[in-house]
Amino acid sequence: MKQKSWNINLEEVMQVGVHFGHQARKWNPKMASYIFTERKGIHILNLTQTARFLSEACDLLANASSKGKQVLIVGTKYQAADLVASASIKARCHYINQKWLGGMLTNWSTIEKRLQRFKDLENKEKTGVLNQLPKKEAATLKRQLVQLRKYLGGIKYMTSLPDIVIIIDQQKEITAINECITLGIPTICLVDTDCDPDLTDIPIPANDDARASIRWILNKLTLAISEGRYNSIETE
């Protein structure tokens, strides 16, 4: 596999604010090797490490998507929700940006049933069956559809467990991480200074609070995914 440079410019990264960690007293000591220093009570992350892990992650994603593997992006933080949706739509990945329902991966057979119901309701809506039902039933079904769309909209096209999972905030999505660990699915996770880098396969030390930082990182990752897919189609 040829080495690619993913065009990570450290000055630009700093402008975006990727290097800011959380407050010093909330740190996880396992992150000590990724922390550069402490300024004014806030830990600053070491950007060279970020760049290294990010390029590793991008290589992995490009490789995987060129082989047709499925990627899931999980980000339920308020700041990250719409970024996750737009990034994964552009990269044609699955995403979860509302609450991570417990057992989404470990209890996949139950979630499948919900997705089937989602599909049925969407078909009904498209063919206009809903308009022929009495008002109350139509309203209930529409409400169900809205709920399903809200929570499962991003994984509509997922037919089996994903091959790689990208997680935005480790502390917030700790259930998601645990599920991936039980199932043995490799994860790429944005770790901040209060997270545990050993839980995930590729930790990317970065700021998980700022929108610009999340957007920049997602940018790079989705670029890698799309490039991998494009490469695979070109070589076919």
Q: Which residues of this protein are in contact with other proteins, per CB under 8 A?
A: 5, 7, 9, 12, 15-16, 70, 86-87, 89-92, 108-109, 112-113, 115-116, 118-119, 156-161, 183-184, 211-212, 215-216, 219, 222-223, 226-227, 229-231, 233-234
Min separation Cβ 172 and other proteins, Å? 21
Dihedral sign (CA 205, 71, 155, 105): negative
Decide whether 35 or 221 has the Cβ nearer to other proteins: 221
Distance of CA 44 to the CA centre of its chain: 23
Min separation Cβ 134 and other proteins, Å? 27
* Token pair in block for residue 47: 């950007």
Contact 34, 45 (CB under 8 A): yes
* Token pair in block for residue 143: 């409400």
Min separation Cβ 200 and other proteins, Å? 18
b vs e for 39-56, b when ≥16 Cβ sit within 10 Å of the residue's Cβ?
A: eeeebbbbbebbbebbbe
End-to-end CA distance of the chain: 17
Min separation Cβ 31 and other proteins, Å? 26
Min separation Cβ 94 and other proteins, Å? 8
Min separation Cβ 67 and other proteins, Å? 13
Helices (H), the chain: 10-16, 47-66, 81-91, 108-127, 129-132, 135-152, 174-183, 211-235
Pairing, β 35-39 against β 42-45: antiparallel
Decide whether 35 or 61 has the Cβ nearer to other proteins: 61
Decide whether 37 or 127 has the Cβ nearer to other proteins: 127
